[in-house]
Structure 1
Amino acid sequence: MPRPNIGIFGGTFDPPHIGHLVLASEAVQQLNLSRLLWVLAPEPPHKLEQPITPLPHRLEMLKRTIANNPSFEISRIEIDRPGPHYSVDTVRLFAEQHPDADIILLLGGDSLRDLPTWRLNTELVAAVSKIGVMRRPDVSFDMPALEAQIPGLTEKVWFIDALLQNVSSREIRRRAASGETYRYYVLPSVYDYIESNRLYGR
């Protein structure tokens, strides 16, 4: 019997948007995932100097975003343990909890590009079976150069084929703060939540 594939999709999700859903849904199908765990980062070490929406708001928006897909689950693996939280530690914990499954890490193209700056990046790559990557139209990277810095990376990377979505949480926050339209970049329930709670400077 084949080992199940469990996907891990981490992020601040501030806010979660349609680009996240496109990556996640395509990953479930193309990587044959039995489950996709959304790992909400309470305080990402690389964003300590940036203002981040309080965790309860981000958690509620994420719950609304994934509510209608039975393959999606929210993991509290980082919420319920003290930080700092690094992906390599999170992946190792998942591997311990699911010894009979293959762990697949999902990344955006920008995260793949920046992977050499991540803590214990070689160990992280070695700890997962695959790394599913969605390209962004505005992000480019040099795989040979990345391979030179992180040996073994190339054989783990699987590019996810999808209609490209040039949407980002940062741009949504900017649009919301400036009064520009952003309604259709997030689910209706998330849009209503942002507006009713006056997030992002509304």
Structure 2
Amino acid sequence: MWVLTPINPLKNHQPITSLEHRLVMLELATARNPKFEISNLEINRPGPQYTLETLQLLKDQEPESNLILLLGGDSLRDLPNWREPLEILRICHQVGVMRRPGDRVDLSHLESQLPGISEKIAFIDAPLLEIAAREIRQRIKDGAPYQYYLRPSVFDYIRREKLYL
């Protein structure tokens, strides 16, 4: 399940593409996989959306489910700054971490901030791109090639809508 958040409380000072554009791009990016579902849980909720509250709502809807929170290495490093990160870890069955090649995570440092996190983390081997989303946005702004990092439908949408220029 993909949960699109209107505004990340930790990044609310950064310019952000409209929710409508991000939703269309997510739909285009996930369209080929019937197992992917896009949730409007955070889209329809007022105020800042926090992962903890979203996980609590999901757990209330499906009490027997084993929630797995998927993060990138950069988000994992920021997890201690999230709202009630220890409660997030308690609710989640596991934290799946997708790392880009060369991405380093200091587990001992994280463990000192969030005791027990090491037992929850599972590093995921998946076909990953060696580029972050912010780097793709910068390439678009700079006029550098970026089409190879995106599904063709998403690339076409970004060009048509003139996003990230």
1-side partners of 2:125 and 2:137: how far apart? 27
Equivalent residue number for residue 18 of structure 2: 54
- The answer (yes or no) to whether the contact 2:129–2:149 under 8 Å persists in 1 is no
Q: Deviations over 1:116-167 (max 9, x none)?
A: 1111011111110000011223432211221121111111101112344211
Q: Which residue identity is paired with 2:107?
A: M
Any residues of structure 2 matched to 1:29-178 within 5 Å, and which?
37-178=1-142
2-side partners of 1:67 and 1:163: how far apart? 18
**Structure 2 length-normalised TM:** 0.96
- Displacement of 1:95: 0.4
Segments of 4+ in structure 1 off by > 4 A?
none
- The answer (yes or no) to whether the contact 1:104–1:128 under 8 Å persists in 2 is yes
Q: Which residue identity is paired with 1:88?
A: L
1-side partners of 2:60 and 2:32: how far apart? 29
- Displacement of 1:180: 0.8
Q: Which runs of 5+ in 2 are unaligned?
A: none
- The answer (yes or no) to whether the contact 1:106–1:131 under 8 Å persists in 2 is yes
More off after superposition, 46-55 vs 165-174:
165-174
2-side partners of 1:161 and 1:64: how far apart? 23
Q: Secondary structure at the match of 1:59?
A: helix
**Structure 1 length-normalised TM:** 0.79
Q: Secondary structure at the match of 2:164?
A: helix
Q: Deviations over 1:36-71 (max 9, x none)?
A: x10111011011110000010010011011011011
2-side partners of 1:135 and 1:186: how far apart? 18
1-side partners of 2:22 and 2:128: how far apart? 24
The structure carrying a bigger strand percent of its residues is 1
Q: Which has the higher contact order (CA 8 A, sep 6+)?
A: 1
- The answer (yes or no) to whether the contact 1:133–1:159 under 8 Å persists in 2 is yes
Q: Secondary structure at the match of 2:67?
A: strand
Q: Secondary structure at the match of 1:114?
A: helix
Q: How many residues align?
A: 165
- The answer (yes or no) to whether the contact 1:132–1:160 under 8 Å persists in 2 is yes
Q: Which residue identity is paired with 1:166?
A: E
More off after superposition, 109-118 vs 46-55:
109-118
